[in-house]
Amino acid sequence: MDETQLDATERIAQMAEKYGLSLILMLILLGVVLAFLWMLTSGRLVPRSLLDKAEEDRDRLQDILDNERAGMMGPLLDVVKSYKKDEGKGG
């Protein structure tokens, strides 16, 4: 190890002794997570074209599910409407 790495390691060891190892590790992990999120949002981790394609596929499939849901809910809606009409007649 050269002198700069040794100095950095010594400073980290002093901070770990003063503040506790768990706090130092938490700060390092926080930095890694923030860097990961930044890479993810900037498109460096996943290419933007793949992300756009996945979003288009998700929207297309959601439209298909919405149409199926509307088709299945139609008969149920008719039953509920007829129930409301029957309830007003007293039976």
Residues 24, 41 within the same domain: yes
Residues 52, 91 within the same domain: yes
Residues 26, 60 within the same domain: no
Structural domain span for residue 12: 1-45
Residues 28, 56 within the same domain: no
Predicted pLDDT of residue 55: 94
Predicted pLDDT of residue 58: 96
Residues 34, 57 within the same domain: no
Residues sharing a CB contact under 8 Å with residue 15, sequence separation 6 or more, in sequence order: 24
Number of domains in the chain: 2
Please report, in tens digits, the pLDDT of each residue of the chain (91 residues total): 688 888 988 888 888 888 888 888 888 899 999 999 998 888 788 788 888 999 999 999 999 999 998 888 888 888 888 877 666 666 5
